[in-house]
């Protein structure tokens, strides 16, 4: 595939040399020759991380068409300081050092879990959440706001064996700061009500028979708060740890408070790859949708049970 791509890139580069500033069309060979317009404002960029899992080296004929550029490791402390300043924090310099000290210590002291992320992407997510809390409570102490964001956003993804170590690190870096955990009151009440009332929790597979336990309700609310700031969330746990029950109860609770929740369930292990993602018939060149592509199309076009609200 990459060898084919290198040939196509070569066609485009040759056309630029010939056309220069003339945005006329050129012949592009992709199977059959096709005349397409040249857009001089577009470009190709390839990110290569050495030693990255699952990543292969570029073939020489493709590598020769690109100009190499070396990158350095970003200064996350400086990035953190600037983002805190942009979010309105006056003590951004001191808070950024505390922030990165916590993440560096967590990376070295906590157990190595596959879902743990202490890198730049995770840092930016927490900083955005801290900015939201800053605007909601502008009169609160800034270290209190950042401590709440670090605790509430990271605690749901930390396994039980590591939670004491993580909370110990936070308490050492933010001494005297222990704000109460603030959950969405209406969501928590709806979860408790749906857990107590078997009629509200009736799904196709029957009534859920849930015991309204505090830790279970807390996990439901934590999942809701993660979904507010994340596009994609994984629920991880051993069999029998109520993973499915948590999101099903939350879906029913959100519907109960007039926030209608519609969902689809897919078991990727029961179908082949082409049945899951879709495939093209090699003879007729006709595309056949898979399970996921059909679901995504129904969601985007508000077909079936999905609505624009």
pLDDT, tens digit, 9 for 90 and up, residues 289-307: 888 888 888 888 887 777 7
Position 278 scores a pLDDT of 83
If you search the block for the tokens 């906590």, which residue do you land on? Answer: 110
pLDDT tens digits for range 71-80:
788 888 999 9
Distances in whole angstroms, Cα of residue 201 to Cα of each of 76, 100, 124, 204, 223: 45, 42, 36, 10, 18
Position 41 scores a pLDDT of 80
76-173 adopts what CATH topology?
Answer: Helicase, Ruva Protein; domain 3 (1.10.8)
Mean pLDDT confidence for 174-200 = 74
112: left (phi over 0), alpha (psi -120 to 50) or beta: beta
In the predicted structure, residue 178 carries a pLDDT above the cut 80: no
User: 3-class secondary structure for 153-171?
Assistant: HHHHHCCHHHHHHHHHHHH
Tell me phi and psi for residue 28, to 5 degrees.
-115, 120
What distance lies between CA 297 and its chain's CA centroid? Answer: 21
DSSP 287: E
pLDDT tens digits for range 95-134:
999 889 988 888 888 888 888 888 888 888 888 888 888 8
pLDDT confidence band for 50 (50 / 70 / 90): low
- Residue 220: CB partners within 8 Å, gap ≥ 6? 187, 191, 246, 249, 250, 253
DSSP 203: B
Position 187 scores a pLDDT of 80
From-to residues of CATH 1.10.8.710 in the chain: 76-173
Distance (Å, whole) CA 36 – CA 28: 7
């Amino acid at each position: 595939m990459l060898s084919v791509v290198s040939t196509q890139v070569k066609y485009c580069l040759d056309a630029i040399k010939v056309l220069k500033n003339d945005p006329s069309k050129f012949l592009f060979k992709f199977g059959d020759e096709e005349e397409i317009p040249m857009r001089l404002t577009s470009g190709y960029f390839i990110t290569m991380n050495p030693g990255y899992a699952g990543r292969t080296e570029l073939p020489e004929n493709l590598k020769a068409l690109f100009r190499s550029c070396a990158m350095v490791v970003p200064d996350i402390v400086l990035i953190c300081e600037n983002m805190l300043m942009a979010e309105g924090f006056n003590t951004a310099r001191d808070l950024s050092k505390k922030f990165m000290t916590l993440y560096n210590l967590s990376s070295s002291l906590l157990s190595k879990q596959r879902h743990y992320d202490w890198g730049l992407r995770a840092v930016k997510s927490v900083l955005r959440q801290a900015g939201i809390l800053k605007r909601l409570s502008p009169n609160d102490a800034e270290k209190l706001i950042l401590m709440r964001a670090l605790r509430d956003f990271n605690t749901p993804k930390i396994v039980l064996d590591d939670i004491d170590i993580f909370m110990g690190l936070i308490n050492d870096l933010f001494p005297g700061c222990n704000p109460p955990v603030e959950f969405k009151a209406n969501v928590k009440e709806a979860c408790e009500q749906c857990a107590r009332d078997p009629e509200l929790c009736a799904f196709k597979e029957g009534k859920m028979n849930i015991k309204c336990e505090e830790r279970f309700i807390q996990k439901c609310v934590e999942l809701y708060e993660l979904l507010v700031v994340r596009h994609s969330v994984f629920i991880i746990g051993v069999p029998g740890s109520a993973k499915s029950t948590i999101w099903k109860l939350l879906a029913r609770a959100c519907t109960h408070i007039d926030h209608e929740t519609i969902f689809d369930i897919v078991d990727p292990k029961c179908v082949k790859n082409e049945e899951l993602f879709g495939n093209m018939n090699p003879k007729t060149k006709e595309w056949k949708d898979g399970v996921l592509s059909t679901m995504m199309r129904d969601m985007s076009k508000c077909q079936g049970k999905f609505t624009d609200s």
